[in-house]
Structure 1
Amino acid sequence: MKFVHDPHHDGSPDHVGVEDGRARLRVRVPGGADAVYARVVEDGEAVMLPADPVRTAGDVVWFEAAVPQRPVVTDYRFAIVRGNRYTWLDQEGAHGHEVTDAGDFRLITGPQPPAWVAGTSVYQVFPDRFARDDDSVGPPAEHPDWALPRSWDDEPAGFGETAAREYFGGTLDGVRRRLDHLAGLGVEVVYLTPVFPARSTHRYDASTFSEVDPLLGGDRALRALARAAHERGMRVMGDLTTNHTGDAHEWFVTAREDPGSAEAGFYLFTDHPDGYVSWMGVPSLPKLDYSSAELRRRVYGADDSVLVDWLTGPDPLDGWRVDVANMTGRHGAQDLNREVSGEIAARMREVDAQRGGDGSWLLAEHFHDAGPDTHHDGWHGVMNYAGFTRPVWTWLNTAPEGVRYMRTDSPLPRTGAEEAVRAMRATNAGLPWRVLTHSVNALSTHDSARFRSVVGDAGRQRVGVAAQVTLPGVPFLFAGDEIGLEGLDGENARRPMPWHRPETWDRETLDAHTRLLSLRRELPALQTGGLRWLDAGPHHMTFLRTLGGQVVLVHLADGPHETLSAACADLDVSVVEVLLRGGRASARTDGKVELDADGPGYVIVVGR
């Protein structure tokens, strides 16, 4: 697939400007056009607004249309007319046929998410497996009655009955002791999976939201970690289960004991006290019912609500990742998801205004198509499994035996880079640009196999890392990715960090993470710049990130391919420099750019 001569528009500052309630939309049209229109949907009806040519560079003509912003979201696409032929340009790309509104560009009206998010990076910590208070490695001498104590060198079980009870003894003070490692790596947000008391090491079955689990060090340890991170210029994000609690949660205990209590209205009882709706039918995770005004008040509405309490006070958290956000407020015919997410976002802005900070991040877990849940002022971004993780997995995987895909028994699907690009373009077409840039690009998480196990070798892993650092979205590392940790599923992947065995670390992969994250911090185009695809084939994908006068060309390959060549004029590049080369890919520059690969590798080139 070659895209270099396709018309282009995205939601970046080069293409969208907003002033006095009007949006100025700019579209790049190679070869020019007889006419260009912005098709805008107003109250369900399409309106065609003419765009005027405003700039010419070689054979490229830029057109601009002034569009009134709609109250919530402005939906639009472009019609590019040449003779009697129309090309429709939407967020998925250019089409020579009629298209639906599903792929339209979307500009959300209203307050913007925190500006710092798009330029940051995230490091996920599963507290039980990251680091202990001390350097001991034997089974914890003290442990709760539900726990199965493990040595630090033990390999966690895969999916099964015992997985959630395996107790390795990591603590929040242990995380604080290792912040220098994170700072050296260059990550800026520490995301902690739940820290509230529970009867599992994943802690998604919280028994209260009012305190930190004493096994992790209690409230003192969380505040101390946040303070130490803030002193380094880093942030700390918590994990909140808005969809459910644990069955030992104080609210659920009261709800079962007293059917007339307010708490009884927090849950979906089918036959009180033993019949109730739970997450995916798991009895220990009873589902919350947001038709209860009192539940909303306690979760996020009141000044002492769960959400607000941990974002305020001394050494607060800097945001929330919301567990199974896509299921929150949904059950059967009931769908309160948009309402609840909008109220949470508004409440977080109120808290931010009161504490005078630069904003708190609201990140939603979403395994599938997140588009319909993001077309309003709600979740700032999503965990973009559908638009990043799975396309990259299906391209770079080596069909490893035993790795699960979306908790099926089927093998991992395999595609070429071209199909991965199609998947990313199609899936991300549903996300407004501001949501895409505030979403995360993860290769591994605590809910998936490790990417190293998916791809089978270090070279292919590093190509994936280059993708997550250079494509729109926030790079997201699961602790241990940077040293080549492995794992076959979401439980087995939760392996302890081998601090006491540094000889096992993949130092080249650690160095690649450090260099790529550093490059992203240095190049604004990789943080907030637009995305223009240039080429894709069975073994490569090539694209530009652009912002103002900065142009960054990225070439990713998993194997040999024919030489790709493009004149710098076609790429809007005047000066070209190869900034970073990894693996078995290469670039040459001399009035044009030529890209080769004889194996997995990446090349990053900058121009102006």
Structure 2
Amino acid sequence: MRFRHDPHHDGSPDHVTFHEHHARLRVRVPGGADGVYLRVVEDGEARLVETEVEAERDGVVVYGVDLPLLPVVTPYRFAIIRDRRYTWLNQEGPHDHEVTDDGDFRILEAPNPPSWVTGTSVYQVFPDRFARDDDGVEPPTEHPEWALPRSWDDEPAGFGPLAPREYFGGTLEGVRRRLEHLVELGVEVLYMTPFFPAGSTHRYDASSFDEVDPWLGGDAALSRLIERARELGLRVMGDLTTNHTGDRHEWFLAARADADSPEAGFYHFVDHPDDYVSWLGVRSLPKLDHTDPGLRERMYEADDSVLLARLVGEDALDGWRIDVANMTGRLGALDINHEVSGRIAERVREVAPQAWLLGEHFYDAGPDTRHDGWHGVMNYAGFTRPVWAWLNTGPEGVRYAATHTSAPLPSQGAVETVRALRATNAGMPWRVRTHSVNALSTHDSARFRTAVGDPLLQILGVAAQATLPGVPFVFAGDEIGLTGRDGENSRTPMPWHRPETWDREVFEAHRRLLALRRELPALREGGLRWLDAGEHHMTFLRTLGEQVVLAHLTDGAHGPTSATATDLGLREATVMESVGEVEVSFDDGVELSARGPGLVIAVGSRDGL
């Protein structure tokens, strides 16, 4: 499928520039048109606004139009008319038929998220499994009463009752001792799953939000970790659950003890004290009721609230990943999710404007991101799932990208993956997409290496992380080829004491590709224009100002595919990264072919529109 002659627009600076509650929009139309109109909707009524020719070269015409911005969000799309036939252009691409508003481009007028986010990459640590205070590997002799101590070399259990009790003994001091590994890899943000005291090793069942778990080293250990991270140029993010607490949480204990207590209003009781709503029916995770003003005050309204207190001061966090963000404030007919996320964003902006709010979202995040709320999401739907569906090799026993299901892994070609990437990101404002994370694995999924099997296919996935819009996200151990068949089994301890088991080729590929993203502004903040896709390959451009980056990813052999210099808009090109069996030549354009899996990333200067 060839996209190179399609009209194009996206939310990048090449296509959208801002000035005092207005935006100047530009749309690229190869071959021109009889007319190009901007379709906008205000107060439920649509209107068409004629654009004007802004530039023209080699048969490519750029049309421009000014768009007054509405409060919070402005949706729009383009109508491109030739011989009275309309092509509607929205975020999913061009359509030769009438479309709904769901895939429209959207500009958020709300204040911008932290400026540092789009230029960064994230490294996820599950504290119990990353590193101990020392280099011991035997089962911990001291442990919480609920824990099942394990040797550092033991394989974690899969889904089941034992998994949350397995205790390997990792600590925050252990994380601090290994921060140089993150620097060597080239990531800039350390994100840790919860560090609050709890009754499990995942710690999403917090018993308090006021302290760091003593078994991790307590508050002093977190302060030392953040201090060392700052010295190394790293940022640190925490993980907070706004949807539920643990059933041993001090709030919940007070709520159950007295139906008239303030805390009793924090939860959804059906019949006090024993019948209450919990996350997916898991009784150890009672669900919070955000209609209660007292809960809001303690969770995020007060300056010393749970969410805000750790975002200020000398050892402040640089942001929060919000666990179960998609379920927060939702229960049956009750849905105040947008109200809650919007107010959290407002309070964070008032207290810590450079803190990043990243919402967990397993499925279509579009409808939950069209307002002033989470800065970005964990983009499972718009990155993880499509890439898995393309590159997985169908291993037995692997669950599909963070879902509890017995359904087999789906299989699709690169062209279907491109369609999926376009469709799943179409409902999300461009600004949200660029502040969301592209993960191949997390602590809630099987390891990507297990899903694909082949190290080269894993590297191909890493290249997609580094070149597509969004923030690269690495789950600790992926960079050395660790495996895992589901979200519990994948929480493998880092084998620091067995460096001979590390996949050095995969590590070096991570390091090079993350460095390339840091080096090339177009990969961090540029637009995305698709050129071509087939059963085994996809080709696209990232552009910003004078810089053009060409990315070609293939999971198998394919015949020649080419694009002209006009298609590319390139004056010259230099191959920056080449892996596998891809052949590329630049001669008045580009020609690409492959004898097997691989990738090419090239950079050039703009010589066209």
TM-score, structure 1 normalization: 0.99
SS in 2 for 1:256: helix
Q: Which of 439, 458, 463 is 2:436 aligned to?
A: 439
2:533 is aligned to 536
Q: 2: distance between equivalents of 1:19 and 1:383?
A: 30
1:49, 1:67 within 8 Å by CA — same for their partners in 2? Answer: no
Residue 398 of structure 1, CA deviation: 0.3
Q: Specify the alignment match of 1:427 in structure 2.
A: 424
Stretch of structure 1 that moved more, 531-540 or 404-413: 404-413
In structure 2, the residue matched to 1:589 is 586
1:334-355 CA distances to partner (integer Å, 9 max, x unpaired)?
A: 11100000011011111125xx
Shift of 1:110: 2.0
Distance 1:7 1:223 in 2: 51
Post-superposition offset of 1:568? 1.6
Q: Quick one: which amino acid aligns to residue 160 of structure 1?
A: G
Other-structure match for 1:320: 320
Alignment partners' CA distance in 2, 1:585 and 1:408:
36
Separation in 2 of the partners of 1:42 and 1:308? 35
Measured after TM superposition, the shift of residue 6 of structure 1 is: 0.2
Quote the Cα distance in structure 2 between the aligned partners of 1:432 and 1:327: 20
2:404 corresponds to which of 407, 416, 419: 407
1:60 alignment counterpart: 60
Aligned AA for 2:15? H
Structure 2 letter corresponding to 1:181: H
Q: Which residue of 2 aligns with 1:231?
A: 231
What residue in structure 1 maps to residue 35 of structure 2?
A: 35
Does structure 1 residue 380 correspond to structure 2 residue 375? Answer: yes
Q: Is the 8 A contact 1:556 1:603 kept in 2?
A: yes
Please point out which of 392, 395, 413 is paired with 1:397: 392
Q: How big is each residue's C-alpha offset from its partner over 1:441-481, in whole Å with a ceiling of 9 and x where there is no partner?
A: 00000000000000011010000000011000000000000
How far 1:600 sits from its partner (Å)? Answer: 1.3
TM alignment of 1:184-583, pairs within 5 A: 184-352=184-352, 359-405=354-400, 406-583=403-580
Distance between the aligned counterparts of 2:140 and 2:594, measured in 1?
49
Say whether 1:100 aligns with 2:100: yes
Which residue, out of 577, 597, 600, partners 1:600?
Answer: 597
Matched to 2:24, the amino acid is R
The offset of 1:71, in angstroms, is 0.8
For residue 168 of structure 1, what is the aligned residue in structure 2? 168
**Range 63-72 or range 475-484, more displaced:** 63-72
Aligned pairs (5 A) from 1:45-194: 45-194=45-194
CA displacement at 1:114 relative to structure 2: 0.6
Letter of the structure 1 residue corresponding to residue 289 of structure 2:
D
Q: Distance in 2 between matches of 1:67 and 1:592?
A: 35
> Residues of 1 paired with 2:523 and 2:144: CA distance?
46
Q: In the aligned structure 2, how far is the partner of 1:203 from the partner of 1:173?
A: 17
Question: 1:271-319, CA deviations, whole angstroms, 9 ceiling, x for partnerless residues?
Answer: 1000000000000000000000110110011111001111112211000
What SS is found at the alignment partner of 1:221?
helix
The structural deviation recorded for 1:240 is 0.3
Q: Hey, what's the Cα distance between the residues in 2 that align with 1:110 and 1:473? A: 19
How big is the alpha-carbon RMSD for the aligned residues of Structure 1 and Structure 2?
Answer: 0.6
Cα shift readout 1:46-80 (whole Å, capped 9, x = no counterpart): 01111100101211000001111011200000000
Q: Distance in 2 between matches of 1:568 and 1:234?
A: 40
The secondary structure found in structure 2 opposite 1:61 is strand
In structure 1, distance between residues paired with 2:583 and 2:144:
55
Percent identity of equivalent pairs: 70
Whole-angstrom distance in 1 between the partners of 2:405 and 2:352: 41
Give CA deviations for 1:521-558 in whole Å, capped at 9, x if unaligned. Answer: 00000000000011111100110000000000000000
Give distance in 2, aligned partners of 1:520 and 1:568. Answer: 24
Secondary structure of the residue aligned to 2:409 is coil
> How big is the shift at 1:400?
0.4
Secondary structure at the aligned position of 1:326 is classed as: coil
Once residues 211 and 9 of structure 2 are traced to their aligned partners in structure 1, the CA distance between those partners, rounded to angstroms, is 47
| Counterparts of 1:307 and 1:561, CA distance in 2 | 51
What one-letter code is carried by the residue in structure 1 that aligns with 2:414?
Answer: A
* Residues 10-29 of structure 1 mapped to structure 2, 5 A cutoff: 10-29=10-29
In structure 2, distance between residues paired with 1:485 and 1:499: 12
Once the two structures are TM-superposed, the CA of residue 586 in structure 1 deviates from its matched residue by 2.5
Q: How far, CA to CA, are the matches of 2:515 and 2:592 in structure 1?
A: 23
Q: Name the CA distance, whole Å, in 2 between partners of 1:547 and 1:57.
A: 18
Instruction: State the 1:570 CA deviation.
Output: 1.5
Q: State how far apart, in whole Å, the 2-side matches of 1:227 and 1:597 are.
A: 48
Name the aligned partner's letter for residue 366 of structure 1. Answer: H
How many residue pairs match? The answer is: 603
d(CA) in 1 for partners of 2:584, 2:60 = 25
Runs of 4+ displaced beyond 3 Å: none
Distance (whole Å) between structure 2 residues aligned to residue 533 and residue 527 of structure 1:
17
User: Which SS does the other structure have where 1:339 is aligned?
Assistant: helix
For 1:113 and 1:236, the matched residues in 2 are separated by: 17
Structure 1, unpaired ranges of 5+? 354-358
Q: Distance in 2 between matches of 1:410 and 1:70?
A: 44
**Partners in 2 of 1:598 and 1:445 — Cα distance?**
32
The residue type paired with residue 383 of structure 2 is: F
The letter of the residue matching 1:568 is: A
Whole-angstrom distance in 2 between the partners of 1:455 and 1:584: 18
- The AA in structure 2 aligned to 1:244 is H
User: Distance in 2 between the 1:456 and 1:150 partners?
Assistant: 27
Deviation track 1:180-201 (CA, whole Å, cap 9, x = no partner) reads 0100100000000000000100
Q: 1:102-159 CA deviation, whole Å, 9 max, x = no partner? A: 0000001120001110110000000000000000000001011100000000000000
Using the alignment, how far apart are the partners of 2:365 and 2:343 within structure 1? 18
Match of 1:311, SS state, is coil
CA contact (8 A) 1:453 1:488 kept: yes
Residue type of the alignment partner of 2:587: D
TM-score, normalising length from structure 2? 0.98
Contact residue 526 and residue 545 of structure 1 kept, 8 A: yes
Contact 1:226 1:315 in 2 (8 A): yes
Pick which of 565-574 and 448-457 moved more. 565-574
Q: What is the distance in 2 between the residues matched to 1:96 and 1:374?
A: 27
Q: Is the 8 A contact 1:338 1:378 kept in 2?
A: yes
Q: Secondary structure at the match of 1:12?
A: coil
SS at structure 1 position matched to 2:483: coil
Task: Report how far residue 93 of structure 1 moved.
Answer: 0.1
1:119 counterpart letter in structure 2: G
Provide the C-alpha distance between the structure 1 equivalents of 2:604 and 2:579, rounded to a whole number of angstroms: 19
Cα drift, residue 569 of structure 1: 2.0
